């Protein structure tokens, strides 16, 4: 289910050992309760309460990606590396994911490092953009400056060089 999937992200916070979990000893039960509460908060934050008991494999692709974001949030990391979180999404799904990425940054204060090939999305939601061309940095600035950088334009429009 969605809830179980997001709970996986909480495992790194677990202190209870195998025997405490197996025999449902107090520490394990307390951790389980705390982890479920945290995951319920994340589910509410992502506005997916209505699907929390649904098997993730039965969800549309965009919602599956939102569950992945929820699992990442469950780790409570101060920095999230999102590798092409919008790959394969339609325009509406991308818009929704952008909204939540911005919400994570604005409301939770989480730094987002976004690897994405949709330059429109990158330029719309980023404070700073670093552009790589064959592993080499060719642009590093605020979106408006990167957008008008000749090296970046050449690389993304495929300008031939002699």
Q: Mean pLDDT across the stretch 18-32?
A: 92
Tell me the mean pLDDT in the region 124-141. Answer: 94
Decide if 84 contacts 20 (C-beta within 8 A). no
- Our CA angle for 59, 61, 62, nearest 5°, is 100
- 12 secondary structure, DSSP code: G
When pLDDT is averaged across residues 19-44 and rounded to a whole number, the result is: 94
Q: How confident is the model at residue 158 (pLDDT cuts 50, 70, 90)?
A: confident
Give the number of C-alpha atoms closer than 13 A to the C-alpha of residue 102, restricted to the C-beta side: 13
Predicted TM-score (pTM) of the model is 0.87
Please determine, for residue 155, whether its predicted confidence score (pLDDT) is greater than 90: no
Mean pLDDT across 1-18? 94
CB distance 96 to 62 below 8 Å: yes
Torsions phi, psi for 140 (to 5 deg): -155, 100
């Amino acid at each position: 289910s969605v809830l179980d999937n997001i709970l996986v992200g909480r495992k790194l916070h677990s202190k209870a050992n195998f025997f405490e979990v197996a025999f449902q000893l107090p520490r394990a039960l307390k951790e389980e309760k705390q982890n479920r509460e945290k995951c319920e908060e994340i589910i509410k934050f992502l506005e997916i309460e209505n699907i929390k008991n649904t098997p993730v494999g039965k969800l549309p692709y965009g919602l599956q990606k939102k569950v992945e974001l929820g699992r990442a949030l469950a780790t409570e990391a101060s920095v999230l590396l999102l590798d092409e979180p919008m790959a394969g999404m339609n325009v509406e799904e991308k818009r929704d994911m952008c909204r939540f990425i911005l919400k994570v940054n604005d409301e939770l204060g989480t730094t987002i490092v976004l690897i994405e090939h949709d330059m429109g999305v990158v330029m719309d939601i980023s404070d700073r953009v670093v552009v790589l061309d064959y592993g080499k940095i060719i642009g590093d600035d605020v979106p408006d400056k990167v957008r008008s950088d000749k090296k970046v334009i050449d690389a993304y429009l495929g300008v031939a060089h002699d």
